[in-house]
């Protein structure tokens, strides 16, 4: 099998996607047993056709997965999502805007006078971690512990099914260790919220009620872990990838600086062009016919959103980064009933962060000619480090 997971290909997987999408839109890898879907229509179907494709990899393909919402199927997924949606509301996300602005400003204040920074390590990584921690209701003194748990859980995505070896065992060990710590920590916080509710996500999760049903402690734990990973990685990569896209396309950067109102459209194009999450897993419930082939029942299916978002049959001039692209029906946040619950939060954080960066940092350029190192999680696309140089703007933003 072509190794998708070398640093060189992960930095720029798109030529490989183009080649395979046009020649083998559905690829079977006999070595790993994976079936890989590259085309836009196939990806949308695999993400949304719950009769043919399961999200629960453990029950269908006998592959162990964490007890997270993204790996559940109806009816359990339907119930859990309804309960979590009661807590994770558009209003609760919109209310975070002033605090996100504060956190973004404070992080930039720490580095702006140096005229250089590692955009990933100094800004794009800590911002979403702090936002999620605050949203849940984690005390700021516990943020370092929160980050350590996030890193431990994320190691599950450092390998793919079909691989084995010491790294896989170590990743599982770190995930289990983080889970054990969270199991000790979270019930104390839950009891505190029951006794004294606050205006935070944990209080709303504890109180969420649909037809007399509430989330169990185990279900809250699963969502907590999912937020630790998904809530951080998506936004981190969205911010970093936006700056990469704009620096690689100076005409689009100039256009955005001249018309800042294009920022929401630019963010959608970053999501399409350099999707933060490149792929997801499904499992075939039965024999499924696609592209003139049959995926047998009980097989793992790799659904490549990063390829679907560059499919020229769906997107005109798909290889071009265009901040005014309209329509832009990308599948960066998934499709169907598993569409990402955190999409509005990721978009809000990116809008605030990129506004601050573009307003306060002038003449941004990469500070090294070395190829960037991909982040370690294999399902994401973005740099581990992104050193940039710039001319400092004002140190503290005015209130808007």
User: Cβ contacts of residue 139 below 8 Å, gap of 6+?
Assistant: none
Please count the other Cβ atoms lying within 10 Å of the Cβ belonging to residue 353: 28
Quote the CA–CA distance of 211 and 229 in Å, as a whole number.
30
Quote the CA–CA distance of 240 and 234 in Å, as a whole number.
10
Q: Report CA 38 to chain centroid distance, whole Å.
A: 19
Number of domains in the chain: 1
| 397 compared with 361, residue with greater pLDDT | 361
**191 located within any domain:** no
**190 located within any domain:** no
Q: What is the structure's pLDDT at 62?
A: 83
> Per-residue pLDDT for 159 more than 80?
no
Q: What is the structure's pLDDT at 395?
A: 55
Q: What is the structure's pLDDT at 61?
A: 80
Please count the other Cβ atoms lying within 10 Å of the Cβ belonging to residue 148: 14
> Per-residue pLDDT for 12 more than 60?
yes
Question: What percent of the chain stands above pLDDT 70?
Answer: 96
Which stretch of DSSP H or E encloses residue 389?
Answer: strand 387-392
Which stretch of DSSP H or E encloses residue 359?
Answer: helix 343-360
Q: What is the mean pLDDT of residues 373-385?
A: 94
CATH number at residue 253: 1.10.630.10
Which stretch of DSSP H or E encloses residue 390?
Answer: strand 387-392
Q: What is the structure's pLDDT at 60?
A: 86
Q: What is the pLDDT of residues 17-55, one digit of tens each?
A: 999 999 999 999 998 889 999 999 999 999 999 999 999
Q: What is the mean pLDDT of the chain?
A: 92
Quote the CA–CA distance of 282 and 156 in Å, as a whole number.
17
**313 located within any domain:** yes
Q: What is the mean pLDDT of residues 259-276?
A: 98
> Per-residue pLDDT for 2 more than 70?
no
**284 located within any domain:** yes
**357 located within any domain:** yes
> Per-residue pLDDT for 235 more than 80?
yes
362's tokens: 């002038």
> Per-residue pLDDT for 164 more than 80?
no
Q: What is the pLDDT of residues 58-86, one digit of tens each?
A: 888 888 888 899 999 999 999 999 999 99
Q: What is the separation, in whole angstroms, between the first and last Cα of the chain? A: 52
Per mean pLDDT, which range of 63-77, 109-123, 148-162 is the poorest? 148-162
Q: What is the pLDDT of residues 287-315, one digit of tens each?
A: 999 999 999 999 999 999 999 999 999 99
Q: What is the structure's pLDDT at 31?
A: 85
Q: Is the dihedral of CA 306, 329, 241, 341 positive or negative?
A: negative
Please count the other Cβ atoms lying within 10 Å of the Cβ belonging to residue 180: 10
State the virtual CA torsion across 60, 62, 66, 71 in degrees, nearest 10: -10
**32 located within any domain:** yes
User: Helix 126-136 crosses helix 217-248 at what angle (to 10 degrees)?
Assistant: 150
> Per-residue pLDDT for 331 more than 70?
yes
**106 located within any domain:** yes
Q: What is the structure's pLDDT at 394?
A: 66
**202 located within any domain:** no
CA distances to 67, 173, 185, 319 from 180, rounded to whole Å, are: 14, 11, 9, 45
DSSP, collapsed to helix, strand or coil, labels residue 327 as: coil
- Domain range for residue 302? 7-61+82-132+224-392
Q: What is the structure's pLDDT at 32?
A: 83
Question: What percent of the chain stands above pLDDT 90?
Answer: 81
Long-range (24+ apart) CB contacts under 8 A made by 140-149 are 142/185, 145/181, 145/185, 146/228, 148/178, 149/178, 149/181, 149/182, 149/228
Quote the CA–CA distance of 178 and 188 in Å, as a whole number.
16
> Per-residue pLDDT for 396 more than 70?
no
């Amino acid at each position: 099998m072509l190794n998708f997971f070398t640093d060189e290909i992960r930095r720029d997987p798109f030529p490989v996607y183009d080649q395979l999408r046009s020649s083998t839109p559905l690829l079977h890898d006999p070595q790993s047993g994976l079936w890989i879907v590259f085309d836009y229509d196939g990806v949308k179907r695999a993400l949304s056709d719950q009769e043919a494709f399961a999200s629960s990899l453990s029950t269908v393909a006998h592959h162990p997965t964490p007890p997270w919402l993204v790996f559940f199927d109806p009816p359990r997924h339907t119930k859990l999502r309804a309960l979590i949606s009661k807590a994770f509301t558009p209003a609760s996300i919109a209310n975070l805007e002033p605090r996100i602005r504060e956190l973004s400003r404070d992080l930039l204040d720490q580095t702006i006078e140096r005229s250089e920074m590692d955009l990933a390590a100094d800004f794009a990584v800590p911002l979403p971690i702090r936002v999620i921690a605050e949203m849940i209701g984690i005390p700021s003194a516990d943020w370092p512990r929160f980050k350590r748990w996030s890193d431990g859980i994320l190691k599950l995505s450092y390998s793919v099914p079909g691989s084995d070896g010491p790294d896989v065992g170590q990743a599982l060990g770190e995930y289990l260790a983080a889970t054990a710590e969270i199991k000790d920590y979270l019930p104390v916080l839950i009891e505190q919220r029951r006794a004294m509710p606050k205006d935070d996500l944990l209080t709303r999760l504890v109180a969420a009620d649909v037809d007399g049903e509430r989330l169990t402690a185990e279900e809250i734990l699963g969502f907590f872990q999912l937020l630790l990973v998904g809530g951080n990685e998506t936004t981190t990569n969205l911010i970093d990838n936006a700056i990469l896209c704009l620096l690689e396309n100076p005409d689009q950067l100039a256009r955005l600086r001249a018309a800042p109102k294009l920022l929401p459209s630019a963010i959608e194009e970053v999501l399409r062009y350099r999707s933060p999450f490149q792929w997801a897993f499904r499992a075939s419930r039965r024999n499924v016919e696609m592209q003139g082939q049959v995926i047998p029942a009980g097989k793992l299916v790799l659904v490549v959103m990063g390829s679907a978002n560059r499919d020229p049959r769906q997107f005109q001039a798909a290889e071009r980064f265009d901040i005014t692209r309209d329509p832009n029906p990308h599948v960066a946040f998934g499709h169907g009933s598993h569409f990402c619950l955190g999409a509005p939060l990721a978009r809000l954080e990116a809008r605030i962060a990129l506004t601050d960066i573009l307003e306060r940092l002038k003449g941004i350029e990469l500070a090294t000619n070395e190829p960037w190192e991909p982040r370690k999680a294999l399902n994401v696309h973005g740099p581990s480090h992104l050193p940039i140089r710039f001319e400092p703007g004002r140190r503290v933003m005015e209130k808007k």
